[in-house]
Amino acid sequence: MKSGVRRIWNWATAAILAAATCGMHGQKTAEKPWMDKTLTPDQRADLVLKEMTLDEKVLLLHGNGMSHVPNWQMPLTRMSNGGAGYIAPIERLGIPGINMSDAAYGVRSSGENGRYSTALPSNLGAASSWDRKAAYAYGALIGRELRAQGYNMTLGGGVNLTREPRNGRTFEYLGEDPVLAGNLVGQLMTGEQAEHVIGDIKHYAINDQETGRNIVNAIVSKRAMRESDLLAFQIGIRDANPGAVMCSYNRVNGDYACENDYLLRDVLKGDFKFPGFVLSDWGGTHSTVKASHAGLDNEEPMDTYFGAALKRAVEDGQVSMKEIDEHAHRMLRSYFADGVIDDPVQKSVVDVERDLDIAQEIEEGSIVLLRNENGILPLQSANVKTVAVIGAHADVGMLSGGGSAQVDPPGGNAIAPPGQGATHWQEHIWFPTSPLKQLRKALPNAKVEFNAGTDPVAAAESARHADVAIVFVQQWESEGMDLPTLALPDNQDALVEAVAAANPHTIVVLETGTAALMPWADKVEGIVEAWYGGSRGATALANVLTGAVDPSGKTAMTFPLSDADLPHTTIAPLPEEDKGQGTRAVNAGERKSTYSVKYDEGLKVGYKWYDAEHKPVLFPFGFGLSYTTFSYSGLKTTQADHPRVTFTVRNTGDRAGAEVAEVYAMLPDSTGEPPKRLVGFDKVELQPGESKEITVDIDPLYLSIYDEASGKMRVVAGDYTFMVGGSSQSLPLKQVFGIGHGLM
């Protein structure tokens, strides 16, 4: 009886509330016509804009400081959610504040804010999965955790191409190829925005080294940019329609990226028809009028140029109201398009278990098996009784990348004294995911012992009588620094050499944020690239090492033989007068530095360089082994409104596995292009003996070249050779196919 009454009471209350909400909703739309969801984001933005004063518009065009940075405090900073940036709400119009967080491989600063975030594998790691679905899941996880923590905008989405593999942020990006990187960032951002957070892709553009990043002038031809670096952005923008693009710190062909008319107006908002807003990297705005004219919409994180100074510029007639309206419209349009007004952020508890499972699965698909002599892997419980695990704190954790991408590990740094919670900008952070423990679990009948690897002689002794030695090596990376070399630091090459000399059954596991040099490569039996493995890295790794999971990752960047083989053998040091500026965000003022980097390799980014220069490499782009084998056959090329290639992949081994099938094209000679470029890919799962016919539709954009004369991308008529296979250097199928005029 009691419960019946309660039920009725509940029902009645619900009905009354529903009626009231309905009425309120009607009233709300009458007062605020932009709340009508049947209108387009553009129409809704225009309706709000009509009601806004100049002061309110300007409020949308700048940040309000950054909570944890003492020099970047403003009156409204305290209202923010503890993230990297905050745009004020316009409460009388129902426009929410925008709380932004860095979120490259997970939500940043959660430790400082007393929250939890899952660390996914590094972005470069996840790119090595070549898996569009994994990229979507990666973004969706970040989107959910952002919202749960009170954020409605991400600052993730790094897609700078790996022109300079020693760049300290290589781990935050998606490798060296624009088609791979662009497709993956498109999926990642689509997944993220599906969670009603404003998406952002960055750093636009040519921010390819950290040395002098606030002052460096990157010199590069339009053609090279359009066919490489900017193409990755173009694809990502087309596929995900992100709410925002972050312009970078550096200059490009003379002008700072955040006041670069060519980059922002001509290309991004012109050719790419990007409808969202451009925000500056933190402290990357250098002017009011010039930046506004060039198409910067929002200054972060302060209001130095886009606060009172912008208002004055309007009052003085230097910036038109039309231009201000355009900026404000773009902001509001993204708010509506990405759902932050219709689906306001609601803090909640992160589903830790689910997200850990996703992080593990993505890492399992991202690990790349680079070498497997004599079938050393997978480790078989039956023959492996003793394992020597050596080096890189493999007893307690796995490495992560630093800077603004850093995700805080639950419980603090695995190698720091207990109790140390919040992390520091450039601390080397180890996630509490222990390869040693997971290997012990996966090989219950083996004796698995650990040696720290600090003394190569002692490490070799620990390995000498083991059935197998697994040496963990690492290369830490971060924003705000570049690596002097791709060689491993801290004498780790000597460690590997010593262990390999003591035990012929040596496997090396790499935890790196970029490619590494491996002078010992042919002295070890196994090499596994685990990247920065994220929160569940060790479980994923143990699953791959013991064969519970078949490795299916392929390199998203070339591993060269030496630094001397790179397009630039060194990164030029800063001139004396520029020392001290250049790596952390500072408004570098109007003094122009002479520091520049000339990307004269042009179109030859990554594998295109090694191909064109006939340089042998250690491991090519798109390379990775599996515990099974695959064969390719039956290439057919047809064309309707675009070329389409069809071929068959067969699992010729005796285990289930997944293969990344890669399609490259050699363009007609007249184009003057490097020998080949990636134009499509697909990842397929195959049971032993199973075959699948795969169809890859080739987007004409991926076949295009940039025509300097017309300023347009176009497909040149002529003979194209399509090549298909399992790595950029193993392409058993080839077919020449003529493409006529008028494709694009």
Q: Which residues make up the interface to ligand BGC (CB under 6 A)? A: 84, 102, 155, 202, 281-282, 404, 479, 585
Nearest residue to 533 via CA among 429, 448, 625 = 429
178 — phi, psi (to 5°)? -70, -30
**Torsion of the alpha carbons at 126, 510, 435 and 470, rounded to the nearest 10:** 140
Of 403 and 409, which has the nearer Cβ to ligand BGC?
403
Q: How far is CA 30 from the centre of its chain?
A: 42
d(CA 383, CA 162): 41
Of 84 and 189, which has the nearer Cβ to ligand BGC?
84
Parallel/antiparallel/unpaired status of strands 153-154 and 98-101: parallel
Q: Least separation, in Å, of the C-beta of 35 and ligand BGC? A: 31
Local structure of residue 572 (DSSP, 8 states):
P
Of 130 and 173, which has the nearer Cβ to ligand BGC?
173
Taken in order 76, 78, 79, 85, the sign of the CA dihedral is positive
d(CA 138, CA 126): 8
Parallel/antiparallel/unpaired status of strands 255-256 and 98-101: unpaired
Of 244 and 556, which has the nearer Cβ to ligand BGC?
244
Of 281 and 525, which has the nearer Cβ to ligand BGC?
281
Q: Least separation, in Å, of the C-beta of 465 and ligand BGC? A: 48
Q: Least separation, in Å, of the C-beta of 687 and ligand BGC? A: 43
Q: Least separation, in Å, of the C-beta of 729 and ligand BGC? A: 33
Q: Least separation, in Å, of the C-beta of 122 and ligand BGC? A: 15
d(CA 156, CA 173): 10
* CB-count burial class (<10 Å; 0-12, 13-18, 19+) for 392: buried
Nearest residue to 368 via CA among 164, 652, 159, 622 = 622
Of 81 and 555, which has the nearer Cβ to ligand BGC?
81
Nearest residue to 497 via CA among 451, 532, 453, 528 = 453
Of 425 and 737, which has the nearer Cβ to ligand BGC?
425
Q: Where are the alpha helices (DSSP H) in 341-429?
A: 352-366
Nearest residue to 588 via CA among 577, 600, 598 = 577
- CA triplet 245, 146, 283: central angle to 5 degrees? 40
* The residue to which tokens 């040519």 are assigned: 206
Amino acid at 309: A
Of 175 and 403, which has the nearer Cβ to ligand BGC?
403
Q: Least separation, in Å, of the C-beta of 454 and ligand BGC? A: 33
Q: Least separation, in Å, of the C-beta of 226 and ligand BGC? A: 23
Parallel/antiparallel/unpaired status of strands 643-651 and 657-666: unpaired
Q: Least separation, in Å, of the C-beta of 202 and ligand BGC? A: 6
Cβ 173 vs Cβ 545: under 8 Å: no
Q: Least separation, in Å, of the C-beta of 744 and ligand BGC? A: 33
The sheet with strand 630-639 has its strands ordered as 630-639, 643-651, 691-697
Q: Least separation, in Å, of the C-beta of 481 and ligand BGC? A: 12
Of 477 and 659, which has the nearer Cβ to ligand BGC?
477
Of 65 and 456, which has the nearer Cβ to ligand BGC?
65
Q: Least separation, in Å, of the C-beta of 467 and ligand BGC? A: 45
Of 282 and 335, which has the nearer Cβ to ligand BGC?
282
Of 247 and 678, which has the nearer Cβ to ligand BGC?
247
Q: Least separation, in Å, of the C-beta of 225 and ligand BGC? A: 20
Cβ 414 vs Cβ 407: under 8 Å: no
d(CA 280, CA 432): 34
d(CA 742, CA 28): 51
d(CA 82, CA 95): 20
Nearest residue to 154 via CA among 245, 230, 40, 280 = 245
